[in-house]
Amino acid sequence: MGAMSDSPSPLADPHLVFDAAEGRRDLVILGSTGSIGTQAIDLVLRNPGRFRVTALSAAGGRVRLLAEQARQLRVRTVAVADGDKVPALREALREVYGAGEPLPEILAGPDAATDLAASDCHTVLNGITGSIGLAPTLAALRAGRTLALANKESLIVGGPLVKALAAPGQIIPVDSEHAALFQALAAGKRADVRKLVVTASGGPFRGRTRSELDDVTREQALAHPTWAMGPVITVNSATLVNKGLEVIEAHLLYDIPFDRIEVVVHPQSFVHSMVEFTDGSTLAQATPPDMRGPIAIGLGWPERVPDAAPAFDWTTASSWEFFPLDTEAFPSVGLARHVGTLGGTAPAVFNAANEECVDAFLAGRLPFNGIMDTVTSVVAEHGTPATGTSLTVADVLEAETWARSRARELSAEATAEAHA
């Protein structure tokens, strides 16, 4: 157990083990049919003596997969956010379960994942995409569960709310970058940290100028060179909004000022992030691109899960490159630092406006550069938000609703002008 400093304890502290458990850990997986959820289940099935899943939640778009997961894992409860999917889910469960086998309990509705997050378990893996993951994050923390956090948006939009609830070490980050920082920070004292270095692949448009990004297509933006992710996250990687969100997340998780968090482009995605210490040493965490490694850290820390993900083949030559970030072509990181410094509801406005603009881009209603142009305008109109401990969930939801509406209006205006 590491010594605590006089400054606020980081939410994710590798020296502090929150509610460590011996033996098999009971898990709740939120977002089980998504990329993080399916890879987590693969990890669990390969380690039955280490983990047991008690409940699963999903949006409801892939009920057959959810039913198959429930059967494989023998969970007690399954949940879908879309209540209209319950009949289809029940039918799928009957098909995959054997005759006479009791079916798991079914929960449904927008609060179902939040209810599961507070249920009896050791660790909650929040793999939900988007700010709808905030309520489950708060519920898991309030219930005293260890939170393996892949849902970065809940921390971005609800930073003060999350920090008010989380005990030191209660959150284990699952993003590859923050899991890397988490591991590298374990090698030294917090007082000796000079800088956090967050790596970025650069996405599919690395090296292009802003003018060269004017006419990029949906298909080009979705062709990520190293990672297989959902469409929203993939576009966020193309605009580097994901890296801006990760800078805010690193600030909140580790209590490191924004001016000591740097972004560097690393196309191979082998080094997932680095920590620079005051003696000049830089520690990097490196693995081939595979999210099962960070997921295993989230589920198993302080123990490591053997063979969770592939290791490097050091008998094969490889080159690792690093480039400075082009802030003119990709202004998203600078804007994220700005809203992170403002605090309050500004990060929620940034995130919500971006989600709407990404949807508009994917639908062909907004050009690629229009994503960040529109988000910048929405953030500017929002102005300086109220900050401090007075922030509430209602404040966040109201700010998001306004930001989404304004982003849609500005996107529509841009479309109309383009076709005038």
242 is in an annotated binding site: yes
5 is in an annotated binding site: no
CATH of span 343-420: 1.10.1740.10
176 is in an annotated binding site: yes
Neighbouring CB atoms inside 10 A of 178's CB total 29
DSSP state of 153: H
175 is in an annotated binding site: yes
119 is in an annotated binding site: no
pLDDT for position 3: 34
Number of residues written out for the chain: 420
371 is in an annotated binding site: no
CB 114 within 8 A of CB 124: no
What gap in Å lies between CA 252 and CA 406, rounded to an integer? Answer: 27
* Cis peptide upstream of residue 302 (ω within 30 degrees of 0): yes
pLDDT for position 228: 65
Helix-, strand-, coil-residue percentages of the chain, each rounded to 5: 45, 15, 40
212 is in an annotated binding site: no
243 is in an annotated binding site: yes
276 is in an annotated binding site: no
What gap in Å lies between CA 10 and CA 198, rounded to an integer? Answer: 17
pLDDT for position 420: 62
The domain segmentation of the chain, as residue ranges, is 25-166, 343-420
59 is in an annotated binding site: yes
Same fold, 25-166 and 343-420: no
* Per-residue tokens: 203: 């996405």
154 is in an annotated binding site: no
pLDDT for position 416: 76
| Position 137, amino acid | T
Give pLDDT tens digits along the chain (420 positions).
333 333 457 899 998 888 777 789 999 999 999 999 999 999 999 999 999 999 999 999 999 999 999 999 999 999 999 999 999 999 999 999 988 889 999 999 999 999 999 999 999 999 998 889 999 999 999 999 999 999 988 999 999 999 999 999 999 999 999 999 999 999 999 999 999 999 999 888 999 999 999 888 889 988 877 666 778 888 998 999 999 999 999 999 999 999 999 999 999 999 999 999 999 999 999 999 999 999 999 999 999 999 999 999 999 999 999 999 999 999 999 999 999 999 999 999 999 999 999 999 999 999 999 999 999 999 999 976 655 457 888 999 999 999 999 999 999 988 777 666
15 is in an annotated binding site: no
201 is in an annotated binding site: yes
What gap in Å lies between CA 396 and CA 154, rounded to an integer? Answer: 10
36 is in an annotated binding site: yes
pLDDT for position 172: 97
163 is in an annotated binding site: no
CATH of span 25-166: 3.40.50.720
343 is in an annotated binding site: no
